[in-house]
Amino acid sequence: MSEICEVIVDGEIHEAKEGSLLIDLLIEEGVKIPYFCYHESLGADGNCRMCMVGIKGEKRPQIACDTLIKKDMEVFSNTDVIKKVRTDILELELLNHPVDCPICDQAGECSLQDFYMDYGLHESKVEIEDKVKNSKHVDLGSSVVLDQERCVLCARCTRFTTEITHTNELGIVGRGDSAKVTTMPGRELSNPYAMNVVDLCPVGALTSKDFRFSQRVWLLETHNSICHGCAKGCNIYIDHNKLKYKDDVIYRFRPRKNLEVNGHFICDEGRLSYKDVQENRQEFSTFNHIEVEQDIAISKFKNFLEQHHKNIHILIDANLYTEEIEAILEFAKSIKAEVFSPLEVYTDEGFADDMLKCSNRASNYKTIENLNISTENPNNSELIINFNHPQNFESLMQIDFCTHKSDTNSLVFAIAAFTENEGSLTNVDGITQQTQKAVKKNNPQPSIIEWLTRIDL
Amino acid sequence: MKECKIVSRKFSIEGSHTLEVAKHHNAYRSLEKRGEFTPTQMIKIIKDANLRGKGGGGASAGEKWELMPQDGDKPSFLAVNCDESEPGTFKDRQIITYDPHLLIEGIILTCYAIKSKHAYIYIRGEYKEYQDILQNAIDEAYEDGLLESCDITIHRGAGAYICGEKSALLESMEGKRGHPRLKPKQKEPEWFFGNPTLVNNVETIATVPFIIQNGSDAYREYGTHCSPGTLLFGMSGHVNKPGVYESEFGVSMLEYIEHFGGGVKNGKKLKAVIPGGVSCGVLTARECKDLTLDYEAMRTAGSSLGTGGMIIMDEDTDMVAVLKNILEFYHEESCGQCTPCREGTGWSDKILQKIVNKRGTKKDLEKLFELADVMNGKTICVFAPSVSSVLISFITKFRDEFERAVS
Amino acid sequence: MSFTFNQDDLNKIKELKTRYPSPDALCLPCLWMAQTKEGYISIDAIDAISEQIGLAPMQIYGVVTFYTMFHLQKPDRLQVDVCKTLSCKLCGSDEILKHLKSKDVYVNHVECLGSCGTAPMMQIKDKNYENLTNEKVDAILEELL
């Protein structure tokens, strides 16, 4: 069944695995195909009926999400018949839809809008008062808000809570055109992955309370990155925007598909961690909490180094990029310092589950392991140079490189957060992944590597 | 008209629902024949008899039985469809009320043929009265040791037309919402919790004892070549003697209505007949002339035989109101899974309401045709295609009435 | 008010479990047990069923709302199900419905109940009353109310 065979789509020859889903091939090859209910992570449900294609030898149009590829299959996706079928069904999808795009957060990334531009463009034939009325802005819990009128009943969200998280909070109640998605009366959507339903929802029925009304999506700039919430290394998109006269701000993290790592999803904690990244930042170098010029800070740094020749201990945050860790190791060698990345602070057994969440909450701890860096606590330190490690240890003198505000009296260098920098991380399974530099601050902080170059011993 | 009582033989016998009376009238005699045949041979007899599913589809029962594995490692099941929800249909309830032991006898034989140890009878929730009679009969059969080879469990539905669709029926039995399943890519049995399962209508199963006892040729003596045997045809609506009367296939529809139903009520003229439950396209009185009651003739006439439950309408019937009534039914009963059906039935119903309220326009009629088109052949099950054919048949055949209603 | 299955119910559930390949199949049977006991299906009953058969409460709740015979609210009056589908309509169910509106009962319009040959009809507490006339309705209700 798994032999590669040739399939003709609209006259063009494509290769695909025999027995695989036709819709996967069409999506992969960029053939225009509308669909709501199908999702790679959830499989075919066949309810929306939008992905109809013509297949040679079949009397009627078939749904591509439930069609298995056969040798020499001939598929037609853009004949007049197929276009009409899609237009007709889309009209029904939109029948009871409130068409409130101007106030809908999904606008700009809405399948319904996209398909309307492709296949619809028809006038509404139903009077507003004849539309089926349903509940709006229902707070489902877990920061997810439901608008039942915008829902196309594709059942992606309910299948997610049934088949993926097995938490079963969401379901469809009623039947016919009064069917709707909901939770049990008085119960909430509550699981650590709940907000994925917002991404799964192809329309504006499920939106994120966290993101609602904060930005129009077409204003956002998107970069690829890796979540720093734990060692899993879930792939994410960073959606950010720099408004005129304002700073570059992250508005949301979204999961980015990577079947080897996180599949299609991320946990809610990771998703919302963008806030911590940009809040309470260290924005300039300080000494005893007082801002100091860069040159002064660097000369102080050198001064401290000269005062201490033994028991210089370097702490490395296991969330730093591999390139940064390597640069720090070089630097440590040059000043004959011992290097530590105490592990205990990152261990959080309560966080772990069998889906994505990992008890080790450091995104690059594998690299610490690979580079044989000690994960013990430093002892008898005279001088500690802490590269953003969250823990502090006793020492005579301390120098900190921090992304976030520190309460030590030490010399502090402000550094770029992972979103403002780029590099590689190796996840818990040993998979090495790259991030992109996403955010460009008005007042950018140097990366650790830049600091080490500037300090230039 | 030839008397043919294959399934309804004991219907008019007092107390026929009890084991004692039923046995007195030769119930369970076909079980003696069971030992003469292997399961495969029994399936062949059913296939040779060309017993066609009597729940509305009319597919070959024998071919369906053949799909059941004879030597699988999973248990096989029989699910008897007693959801009888097609408006105009009330025949299965006659069997379970007046001759439940015939059904049990049929179940025992069928289970033997498909090597099943357990049969379920999925009965619509509204039939509680009849369910109790059937349960009594099953209890009697257990007590009498008749059910040593297979168990029978009644599974009560709870009000959903779509659960008469075989895969929705099984979904319902699996404790879920009754959504029809995506159709398999090749011929295969139905599945109940992943186990091969045969779904057959009550009347189909109740026909099995006759065929096994008398042979396939005896069954084929009735009816036509392609539609052999009999069916519990029924009549309701504007007819003098509504009810269920068994007849062989191939008899003249009008003669049947005259003979058993005593003609149209109040001496009025016939206007139209919906031949086999509302899901079959409507036929005008003219089309009914010379029409015979069999699958092929009905197909040729552009409708279908369905369950054989005819709804008879006299000359004064308002066809717009009738169509509205039918669409209300579909609107209420659509399971809501597929978009064309979920939205199409609701919208059609609303448009018809508008027309009934004298607010309709010609455009609305056109829209109904468009909806009929989008509901045809684009959904998981045949619910929406039925709505489609009903819409088209009514509006085309009674065009003038509809046009008057929108002018 | 919390819902519990009594020992008889539990025995019945135990027996039914032996009759199906999966306890999921007990969803409708258990819902019927609950509705027969209380006249409706409470959220507590759904939780109790969930505990017995393992289906999640939301799945059961979705099932309850799919089938028209299950009620989530306790009925406050006698419920009369009147068939309004075609055969009954042709035989005068509109009249019966109109007549029933004047009575102190909860009139529930339902789709075909399979009494087409004995139309018009109504169903009260699982019992069919067929070939109805207004006078017959009066007599039946007098007895029941």
Q: What's the rounded Cα separation, in Å, for the pair B20 and B24?
A: 6
Q: Note which residues in 162-221 of chain B have CB less than 8 A from chain A.
A: 177, 182, 185
Token digits for A136? Answer: 């709006």
pLDDT at B163 over 70: yes
CA B393-B399-B400 angle, 5° bins: 155
Contact B310, C70 (CB under 8 A): no
Q: Is C28 exposed, middle or buried (0-12, 13-18, 19+ CB in 10 A)?
A: buried
Q: Is B404 exposed, middle or buried (0-12, 13-18, 19+ CB in 10 A)?
A: exposed
Q: Which chains touch C (3 or more CB pairs under 8 A)?
A: A, B
pTM: 0.95
Same domain? A86 vs A16: yes
Mean pLDDT of B247-253: 97
Chain pair A-C, CB pairs under 8 angstroms: 33
Tokens 């489902």 sit on residue: A140
Token digits for C21? Answer: 């390949």
Helix-, strand-, coil-residue percentages of chain C, each rounded to 5: 50, 10, 35
Mean pLDDT of A30-56: 95
Residues of B in contact with C19 (CB under 8 A): 118, 151, 153
In sequence order, the β-bridge partners of residue A242 are A248
Q: Which of A38, A61, A93 is the last residue of a domain?
A: A93
In this complex, the residue of A171, A175, A186 whose CB is nearest that of residue C59 is A171
Q: Is B320 exposed, middle or buried (0-12, 13-18, 19+ CB in 10 A)?
A: buried
Angle between helices A294-307 and A448-455 (to 10 degrees): 70
pLDDT above 90: percentage of residues in chain B: 99
Residue B3 gets the label, from left (phi > 0), alpha (psi -120 to 50) or beta, of: beta
Same domain? A182 vs A293: no
Interface touch B192/C21, C-beta < 8 Å: yes
The C-alpha of C108 sits at a distance from chain B's nearest C-alpha, in angstroms, of 13
The domain segmentation of chain C, as residue ranges, is 7-66, 79-144
- Per DSSP, which regions of A131-203 are E strands? 138-141, 144-146, 171-173, 180-182
Same domain? A230 vs A357: no
C46 touches chain A (CB under 8 A): yes
Contact B303, B58 (CB under 8 A): no
Q: What is the pLDDT of residues A226-280, one digit of tens each?
A: 999 999 999 999 999 999 899 999 999 999 999 999 999 999 999 999 999 999 9
pLDDT at A123 over 80: no
Mutate to test the interface with B, among C17, C28, C122, C132 (most CBs of B within 10 A): C28
Q: What is the pLDDT of residues A150-199, one digit of tens each?
A: 999 999 999 999 999 999 999 999 999 999 999 999 999 999 999 999 99
Contact C101, C76 (CB under 8 A): no
Token digits for B394? Answer: 């009514």
Q: Note which residues in 29-68 of chain B have CB less than 8 A from chain C.
A: none
Mutate to test the interface with B, among C15, C112, C121 (most CBs of B within 10 A): C112
CATH of the domain at A82: 3.10.20.740
Interface touch A49/B185, C-beta < 8 Å: no
- Residue A170 covered by a domain: yes
Report residue C35's pLDDT band, with 50, 70 and 90 as the boundaries. very high
Smallest CA–CA distance from B364 into chain A, residue: A125
Same domain? A291 vs A433: yes
Closest by Cα among B133, B123, B125 to B21: B133
pLDDT above 70: percentage of residues in chain A: 100
- Residue A216 covered by a domain: no
Interface touch A162/C59, C-beta < 8 Å: yes
Q: What's the rounded Cα separation, in Å, for the pair B309 and B292?
A: 14
Buried b (16+ CB within 10 A) or exposed e, B360-394: beeebbebbeebbbbbbebbbbbbbbbbbbbbbbb
Mean pLDDT of chain A: 94
pLDDT at A104 over 90: yes
CA B43-B245-B1 angle, 5° bins: 95
List the B243-248 sheet strands across, edge first: B243-248, B230-237, B309-314, B270-274, B283-284
Smallest CA–CA distance from A172 into chain B, residue: B177
Q: Which of A183, A208, A233 is the last residue of a domain?
A: A208
Smallest CA–CA distance from C63 into chain B, residue: B177
CATH of the domain at A198: 3.30.70.20
Token digits for B39? Answer: 């399961």
Residues of B in contact with C116 (CB under 8 A): 87-90, 234, 236-237, 242, 309, 311
Q: What is the pLDDT of residue A121?
A: 73
CB atoms within 10 A of CB A108: 15
Residues of A in contact with B334 (CB under 8 A): 175-177
Residues of B in contact with A174 (CB under 8 A): 336
Smallest CA–CA distance from C127 into chain B, residue: B129
Q: What is the pLDDT of residue A248?
A: 96
- DSSP code of residue A444: P
Q: What's the rounded Cα separation, in Å, for the pair A17 and A70?
A: 8
Q: Which chains touch B (3 or more CB pairs under 8 A)?
A: A, C
Mutate to test the interface with B, among C41, C64, C86, C115 (most CBs of B within 10 A): C86
Q: Which domain holds residue A226?
A: 221-277
Q: What is the pLDDT of residue C122?
A: 97
Sign of CA dihedral A435, A437, A443, A444: positive
Same domain? A334 vs A410: yes
C47 touches chain A (CB under 8 A): no
Token digits for B45? Answer: 């007899």
- Write the DSSP assignment of A87-144 as a string of letters: HHHHHHHTTT----GGG-TTTTS-HHHHHHHHH------S-GGGSPP---SEEEETTE
pLDDT at B81 over 90: yes
- Residue A214 covered by a domain: no
Which helix (H) or strand (E) element contains residue B292?
none
pLDDT above 90: percentage of residues in chain A: 89
Q: What is the pLDDT of residues B21-47, one digit of tens each?
A: 999 999 999 999 999 999 999 999 999
- Residue A368 covered by a domain: yes
The C-alpha of A415 sits at a distance from chain B's nearest C-alpha, in angstroms, of 53
Q: Is A71 exposed, middle or buried (0-12, 13-18, 19+ CB in 10 A)?
A: exposed
Q: What's the rounded Cα separation, in Å, for the pair A356 and A270?
A: 10
The C-alpha of C61 sits at a distance from chain A's nearest C-alpha, in angstroms, of 7
Mutate to test the interface with B, among C116, C123, C127, C128 (most CBs of B within 10 A): C116
Q: What's the rounded Cα separation, in Å, for the pair A101 and A124?
A: 14
Q: What is the pLDDT of residue A122?
A: 74
Interface touch C63/B313, C-beta < 8 Å: no
B155 touches chain A (CB under 8 A): no
Token digits for C127? Answer: 């019992």
- Residue A154 covered by a domain: yes
Contact C28, B172 (CB under 8 A): yes
Interface touch A174/C56, C-beta < 8 Å: no
Q: Note which residues in 118-177 of chain A have CB less than 8 A from chain C.
A: 161-162, 167-175
Closest by Cα among A397, A390, A385, A381 to A342: A390
Same domain? A79 vs A226: no
- Residue A319 covered by a domain: yes
Same domain? A163 vs A303: no
Same domain? A300 vs A434: yes
Mean pLDDT of chain B: 97
Smallest CA–CA distance from A179 into chain B, residue: B336
Report residue A118's pLDDT band, with 50, 70 and 90 as the boundaries. confident
Q: What is the pLDDT of residue B358?
A: 95
Closest by Cα among A62, A69, A85 to A5: A69
pLDDT at B396 over 70: yes
Contact C13, C24 (CB under 8 A): no
Contact A75, A54 (CB under 8 A): yes
Same domain? A310 vs A330: yes
Same domain? A372 vs A414: yes
C115 touches chain B (CB under 8 A): yes
Report residue A130's pLDDT band, with 50, 70 and 90 as the boundaries. confident
Report residue A308's pLDDT band, with 50, 70 and 90 as the boundaries. confident
Phi/psi for A403 (5° steps) reads -85, -35
Report H helices in A240-393: 268-272, 274-278, 294-307, 322-335, 365-370
Q: What's the rounded Cα separation, in Å, for the pair B42 and A354?
A: 52
Report residue A35's pLDDT band, with 50, 70 and 90 as the boundaries. very high
Interface touch C69/B158, C-beta < 8 Å: yes
Q: What is the pLDDT of residues B4-15, one digit of tens each?
A: 999 999 999 999
Closest by Cα among B78, B76, B51 to B63: B51
Mean pLDDT of B317-346: 97
Report H helices in C78-145: 86-90, 93-101, 134-144
- Residue A433 covered by a domain: yes
- Residue A198 covered by a domain: yes
Report residue A128's pLDDT band, with 50, 70 and 90 as the boundaries. confident
Q: What is the pLDDT of residues B48-65, one digit of tens each?
A: 999 999 999 999 999 999
Mean pLDDT of C62-83: 95
Residue A48 gets the label, from left (phi > 0), alpha (psi -120 to 50) or beta, of: alpha
Q: How many residues does chain C have?
A: 145
pLDDT at A418 over 80: yes
CATH code, C7-66:
1.10.10
CATH class of residue range C79-144? alpha beta
- Per DSSP, which regions of B158-237 are E strands? 190-192, 195-201, 230-237
Same domain? A165 vs A149: yes
Mean pLDDT of B281-291: 96
In this complex, the residue of C46, C56, C62 whose CB is nearest that of residue A173 is C62
B367 touches chain A (CB under 8 A): yes
Mean pLDDT of B319-341: 97
- What's the structural domain count of chain A? 4
B125 Cβ neighbours under 8 A, 6+ residues apart: B156, B157, B158, B159, C32, C67, C69
In this complex, the residue of C19, C84, C116 whose CB is nearest that of residue B309 is C116
Mean pLDDT of chain C: 96
Cis geometry, peptide bond prior to residue C120 (ω within 30 degrees of 0):
yes
Report H helices in B221-338: 253-261, 285-288, 295-300, 319-333
Contact A345, A375 (CB under 8 A): no
Interface touch C66/A175, C-beta < 8 Å: yes
Token digits for B18? Answer: 């009890």
B155 touches chain C (CB under 8 A): yes
Mean pLDDT of A126-139: 85
- DSSP code of residue B189: -
Q: Which of A208, A238, A253 is the last residue of a domain?
A: A208
Residues of A in contact with B373 (CB under 8 A): 88
pLDDT at B99 over 60: yes
Interface touch A46/B185, C-beta < 8 Å: no
Q: What is the pLDDT of residue C1?
A: 56
Same domain? A44 vs A130: no
Interface touch A183/C58, C-beta < 8 Å: yes
- DSSP code of residue C137: H
Q: Which of A206-215, A302-311, B281-290, C125-134 comes out lowest in average pLDDT?
A: A302-311
